[in-house]
Amino acid sequence: MNTMLTSSVEGKSDKENTKSENLTEYLIEAIVGGDIEPGSKISEPELAKRFEVSRGPLREAIMRVEGLGLIERIPHVGAKVITFSAEKLLELYSVREALEGMAARLAARHITEEELNGLEDVLFRHSKHIDDVEGASYFHQHGDFDFHYRIIKASRNSKLVSLLCNELYHLLRMYRYQSPRAQSRPKEALREHEFILQAIRNRDEELAEMLMRRHISGSRKLIEQQISM
């Protein structure tokens, strides 16, 4: 293949990859935020027309979002946004309790001073938000503004990061955004986060794990109460 043709093919491939990544990000945020409702069918023709893209990048984006567990394929129906069931939700929290407990233990061992300062900054922002809304809600952001996300990253365990920051993370965000606010306990959650951070700062691995597990267990119990009502 000559240089000009190679360059043309690579340029087209880069554009398609960018389109696919943009579509992936759009679908994730639209599903997590509820703009595309649970149980909704994903229409490839509609999305292709809306974003003026070919089916190739679109199908790749849908496959990526399916890999994150936000979309499922139903025989003779096609791709649909997942709907949370009580069983799936409790399973998710049980897995989180075990894995994030381990992440907190490892973070207490490996975390840097810079990362500790970053966590303190996150909790300061969270505290300010709670004051601003008079305790009505917690500060739900993702990525570097998420307390749990930063601790998982600080664990330095690539498998934990892959499971919790990729495969399960957006499912959790979807639940956070779309769950009834009655299940929220912002002031208690902030206080528990502060205790977890102190244990990690003190390099107390056992305490960090225990406090993280207890924190997530408390959230799971709130969900169980909501389900039983």
Which tens digit of pLDDT belongs to each residue from 156-196? Answer: 999 999 999 888 888 888 887 777 654 567 889 899 999 99
Q: Is residue 47 very low, low, confident or very high in pLDDT (cuts 50, 70, 90)?
A: confident
- Of the two residues 14 and 217, the one the predictor is more confident about is 217
pLDDT at 193: 96
**Residue 4 pLDDT greater than 50, yes or no:** no
Average pLDDT, the chain: 85
Closest CA relative to residue 112, chosen from 199, 203, 191: 203
pLDDT at 150: 95
All structural domains of the chain: 3-81 (1.10.10.10), 86-228 (1.20.120.530)
Q: By three-state DSSP, how is residue 149 classified?
A: helix
- 126, amino acid identity: H
- Of the two residues 133 and 88, the one the predictor is more confident about is 88
Give the C-alpha separation, 30 to 3, whole Å.
40
Q: Is residue 206 very low, low, confident or very high in pLDDT (cuts 50, 70, 90)?
A: very high
- Of the two residues 34 and 84, the one the predictor is more confident about is 34
List C-alpha distances in Å: 122 to 3, 125, 141, 199: 49, 5, 10, 16
